[in-house]
DNA sequence: CAGCATCCGCTATGATACTG
DNA sequence: CAGTATCATAGCGGATGCTG
């Protein structure tokens, strides 16, 4: 049994899902593998996420110390960059496995269409 | 861009999360890696899941052709076994990566307590 | 044993408009 | 540019009781 922020998780698998579960977190992290990205750059590569949701997910990832948020300007227009922390980088093998499966999946399931 | 059941997914990562995302699916699959398990066996190894949720998640995994449901009796008491399908087994590398990260995570983050 | 039925609150996600 | 505010909704997950 594991405890995170006063909540219980029954096994190691559920611990991982606590950090990268949900609809968007793995996708965001996937796009940060190549290096730092700005808020609007993330929006462009994930066109179906809304501003609000992206904002909330980034905040949570930052709280979990998986990504780092750096502000480069004092006054508008703002310039903010997001990068993986060292802890976040320990997720690389997981993200890689998730990505590879997603690439191969359309060949293995009729439900998935690539277009 | 990918399409599954008339919904759009912006990248391969989000496709994978469509199948194993959420709080429980990866946990359930993790416990099926070793072979077939019955409904109540799953409940025992995942004590914090409710009957209803386990039931719903199993149904969804079955619909996605990730697990197979076999009924071995005609009349009560019922005997039902769940196993990974061949398609489900393609998830093994992903589940393995998720599990390994969960095992190592408490050493890398102060937020996680093992007890 | 392996579930379904019902009710319900919470959280996640979304649409739109606005701001430092 | 990088968000926040507000409002709204859908689905997840839970509690309890019942059934073939």
Predicted confidence at residue B85, as pLDDT, reads: 96
Digit-coded pLDDT (tens) for B39-51: 999 999 998 899 9
How many alpha carbons fall within 13 Å on the CB side of residue A56? 8
Digit-coded pLDDT (tens) for B47-64: 889 999 999 999 999 999
Q: What whole-number distance in Å separates Cα of residue A105 and Cα of residue B16?
A: 8
Residue A58 CA, distance from chain mean position: 8
Predicted confidence at residue B22, as pLDDT, reads: 85
Per-residue pLDDT of chain A (115 residues; tens, 9 = 90+): 888 888 888 889 999 999 998 899 999 999 999 999 999 999 999 999 999 999 999 999 999 999 999 999 988 889 999 999 999 999 999 999 999 999 999 999 998 998 8
Count of pairs with CB atoms under 8 A, one residue in A, one in B: 169
Check whether residue B23 has its CB closer than 7 Å to nucleic acid strand D: yes
Contacts of B24 in chain A (CB under 8 A): 14
Contact call for B27 and A19, based on CB within 8 A = no
Handedness of CA B99, B105, B106, B111 (dihedral sign): negative
CA of A18 to C1' of D7 (A): 28
Distance from CA of B5 to the nearest CA of A (A): 7
Predicted confidence at residue B101, as pLDDT, reads: 95
CB of B70 within 8 Å of any CB in chain A?
no
Mutation pick from A16, A31, A111 vs chain B, by most beta carbons of B within 10 Å, is: A16
Predicted confidence at residue B75, as pLDDT, reads: 79
Domains of chain A: 2-103 (1.10.10.10)
Digit-coded pLDDT (tens) for B69-102: 999 987 778 899 999 999 999 999 999 999 999 9
Q: Which of A27, A65, A106 comes nearest B109 by C-beta? A: A65
């Amino acid at each position: 049994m594991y405890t995170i922020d006063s909540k219980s998780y029954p096994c190691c698998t559920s611990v991982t899902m606590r950090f990268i579960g949900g609809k968007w977190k793995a996708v965001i992290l996937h796009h940060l593998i190549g290096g730092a990205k700005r808020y609007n750059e993330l929006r462009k590569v994930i066109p179906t996420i809304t501003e609000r949701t992206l904002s909330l997910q980034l905040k949570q990832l930052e709280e979990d110390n998986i990504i780092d948020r750096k502000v480069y300007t004092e006054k508008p227009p703002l310039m903010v960059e997001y990068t993986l922390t060292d802890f976040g980088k320990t997720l690389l093998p997981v993200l890689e496995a998730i990505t590879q499966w997603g690439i191969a999946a359309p060949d293995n399931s009729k439900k998935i269409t690539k277009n």
